[in-house]
């Protein structure tokens, strides 16, 4: 009776164990094992009882057999087995001794570890990928800082950056062309920072802001008491201040013809005479100029001197507007959201629709407009998430179906109406009314306007807008 109980208990333990428990005799004949676990070895359940582990080893079912090893070594053994079905099994075996110290049984516990091994392999792969991504991020960071805060993804800017890098090692004059806000001043500063003159002054002159009467004194300087109102000590001109460094003449297209002639002389002779001075000073600077005007057309119309044009136009670089390099927009949007949040210690986020609209917009004012708009919406949005409703109307319109776009009538009101609150209210009412006409539910309205449904409900109530008919 007691034997029967022991046998039943043992069978139950083997049958319910998560491990495959197998017991063999001293000759390696399998006495007991759980049939449920044998499928991983690729053999039918119940076909193994009475079989020799040595035979199964020969057939490649057990490779190697833990029992064979335990019987041979007469001590506990732990191994990894590869089964015929491609699984990985962790097996641990123990010898059982009789009173005379002879091995009479071997017991093993084995567990399918394939998933764990697969996970380990995946983990190793992921670790490798992580290392390669980290390297990539570091490279990109390095690239960005190398290019002095100039962010881009487009091949057109890549080309310009490469050219700037090459010409920065020479003293050739560079003419930066392109519409307002594309980054001409930024590229000029980068060029200086890459050059061997980087530790010397970078003197930026906006030619459009210097009155013609002051041009000479500002650019060439003057000697003490040379004219009424002049400082007693005299003054060094901007050109002299750029000595050994870079002189950046922005908006060169605005320079009056008479001043163009004076500048040309300096560029040709590399000498400056201060007003009221008797002696010319030798000057050594690198010249960069920029304009958003069509300077060749100005030359044709004789509004710009041809000889000066030749002097400044050694390396012309045309910077395309943002709408011609749309790949740059996402990275610029992300960059300004991040830096402006940091600047004001905020953590505003863009709603996905807002992001889409910002990346689809044509940005006629280029990077400067993009930067200004993001700064404005981050500062004025009254929610943590910036919804399309927070964007200026002209930008927001592009994200809406044509029928929901704000018409000129409302924009006209905006110009006429100086009261900010009234303008916003008028705009919101117009947008809501139009959406109401085309949408069946407030959820549809929310989707078409790019705002939340509770906001739609709140605003409809606020403006007492009700559905007609
Ligand atoms: N590729 C860029 N990456 C990051 N910021 C940029 C980039 N291009 C321009 N900016 C930023 O855009 C703003 C306008 O650039 P910048 O003043 O250089 O333009 P510009 O072409 O010289 O304009 P303007 O013709 O009006 O003088 C600056 O704040 C500048 O830092």
pLDDT(375) > 90:
yes
Identify the residue whose C-alpha is closest to ligand 1 atom 2: 150
- pLDDT band for position 36 (cuts 50, 70, 90): confident
pLDDT(146) > 50:
no
More confident position, 263 or 85: 263
At residue 415, the pLDDT reads: 40
pLDDT(15) > 80:
yes
pLDDT(38) > 80:
no
- pLDDT band for position 404 (cuts 50, 70, 90): very low
Question: What is the pLDDT averaged over residues 387-399?
Answer: 83
Query: Which positions ≥6 away from 60 have C-beta within 8 Å?
Result: 84
Q: What is the mean pLDDT of the chain?
A: 85
CATH of 324-462, one of 1.10.15.40, 3.90.380.10, 1.10.8.60, 1.10.260.40: 1.10.8.60
At residue 7, the pLDDT reads: 87
Identify the residue whose C-alpha is closest to ligand 1 atom 8: 183
Which DSSP letter does residue 226 get? S
Identify the residue whose C-alpha is closest to ligand 1 atom 18: 183
* pLDDT tens digits, 196-251: 999 999 999 999 998 888 888 899 998 876 666 656 678 889 999 999 999 999 99
The residue whose CB lies within 8 Å of the most ligand 1 atoms, and thus the one to mutate among 140, 178, 182, 183, is 183
* pLDDT tens digits, 58-88: 888 888 899 999 999 999 999 888 888 888 8
pLDDT(387) > 50:
yes
Architecture of domain 155-320: 3-Layer(aba) Sandwich (3.40)
ipTM above 0.95, yes or no: yes
The CA 304 to ligand 1 mean position distance, Å, reads: 25
The CA 144 to ligand 1 mean position distance, Å, reads: 15
Tell which atom from ligand 1 comes closest to the C-alpha of 319: 21
The CA 218 to ligand 1 mean position distance, Å, reads: 25
At residue 413, the pLDDT reads: 40
- pLDDT band for position 406 (cuts 50, 70, 90): very low
Helices (H) and strands (E) in the chain, counts: 19, 16
The CA 185 to ligand 1 mean position distance, Å, reads: 6
Concatenated DSSP letters of 376-429: HHHHH-SSSEE-GGGS-HHHHGGGS-GGGSPPHHHHHHHHH---HHHHHHHHHH
The third-level CATH classification (topology) of the domain covering 2-112 is Beta-Lactamase (3.30.450)
Identify the residue whose C-alpha is closest to ligand 1 atom 5: 150
Question: What is the pLDDT averaged over residues 327-351?
Answer: 92
More confident position, 287 or 437: 287
Identify the residue whose C-alpha is closest to ligand 1 atom 16: 183
Measured from CB, residues less than 6 Å from any atom of ligand 1 are 149-152, 178, 180-186, 250, 292, 367-368, 371
Answer for the pair 34, 17: CB distance below 8 angstroms, yes or no: yes
In the chain, domain spans: 2-112, 114-146, 155-320, 324-462
Phi, psi dihedrals of residue 181, rounded to the nearest 5°? 80, 10
Instruction: Name the percent of the chain lying above pLDDT 70.
Output: 88
Answer for the pair 85, 42: CB distance below 8 angstroms, yes or no: yes
Q: Alpha-carbon distance 54 to 62, whole Å?
A: 9
Q: Alpha-carbon distance 387 to 378, whole Å?
A: 11
Residue with tokens 């919406």: 377
């Amino acid at each position: 009776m007691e034997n029967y109980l022991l046998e039943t208990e043992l069978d139950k333990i083997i049958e319910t164990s998560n491990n495959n428990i197998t017991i063999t005799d001293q000759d390696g004949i399998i006495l007991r094992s759980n049939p449920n676990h044998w499928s991983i070895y690729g053999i039918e359940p119940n076909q193994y009882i009475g079989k020799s582990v040595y035979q199964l080893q020969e057939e490649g079912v057990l490779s190697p057999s833990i029992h064979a090893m335990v019987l041979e070594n007469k001590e506990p053994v732990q191994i990894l087995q590869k089964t015929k079905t491609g699984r990985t099994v962790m097996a641990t075996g123990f010898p059982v001794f009789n009173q005379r110290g002879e091995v009479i049984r071997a017991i093993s516990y084995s567990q399918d570890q394939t998933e764990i091994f697969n996970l380990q392999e995946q983990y190793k792969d992921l670790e490798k990928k992580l290392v390669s991504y980290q390297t990539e991020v570091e490279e990109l960071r390095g690239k960005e800082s190398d290019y002095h805060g100039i962010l881009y993804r487009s091949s057109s800017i890549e080309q310009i950056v490469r050219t700037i890098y090459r010409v920065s090692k020479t003293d050739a004059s560079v003419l930066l062309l392109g519409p307002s806000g594309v980054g001409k001043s930024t590229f000029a500063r980068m060029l200086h920072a890459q050059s061997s003159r980087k530790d010397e002054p970078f003197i930026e002159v906006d030619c459009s802001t210097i009155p013609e009467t002051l041009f000479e004194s500002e650019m060439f300087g003057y000697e003490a008491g040379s004219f009424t109102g002049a400082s007693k000590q005299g003054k060094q001109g901007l050109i002299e201040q750029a000595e050994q460094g870079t002189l950046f003449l922005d908006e060169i297209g605005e320079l009056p013809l008479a001043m163009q002639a004076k500048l040309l002389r300096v560029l040709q002779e590399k000498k400056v005479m201060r007003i009221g001075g008797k002696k010319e000073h030798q000057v050594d600077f690198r010249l960069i100029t920029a304009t958003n005007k069509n300077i060749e057309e100005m030359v044709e119309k004789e509004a710009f001197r041809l000889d000066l044009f030749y002097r400044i136009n050694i390396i012309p670089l045309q910077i395309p507007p943002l709408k011609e390099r749309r790949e740059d927009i996402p990275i610029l949007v992300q960059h300004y959201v991040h830096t402006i949040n940091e600047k004001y210690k905020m953590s505003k986020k863009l709603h996905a629709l807002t992001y889409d609209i910002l990346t689809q917009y044509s940005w006629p004012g280029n990077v400067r407009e993009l930067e200004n708009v993001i700064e404005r919406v981050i500062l004025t949005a009254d929610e943590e998430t910036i919804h399309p409703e927070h964007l200026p109307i002209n930008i927001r319109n592009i994200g809406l179906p044509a029928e929901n776009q704000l018409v000129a009538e409302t924009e006209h009101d905006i110009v006429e109406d100086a009261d900010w609150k009234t303008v916003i209210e008028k705009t919101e009412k117009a947008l809501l009314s139009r959406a109401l006409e085309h949408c069946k539910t407030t959820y549809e309205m929310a989707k078409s306007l790019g705002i939340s449904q509770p906001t739609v409900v709140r605003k409809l109530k606020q403006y007492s807008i009700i559905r007609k008919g």
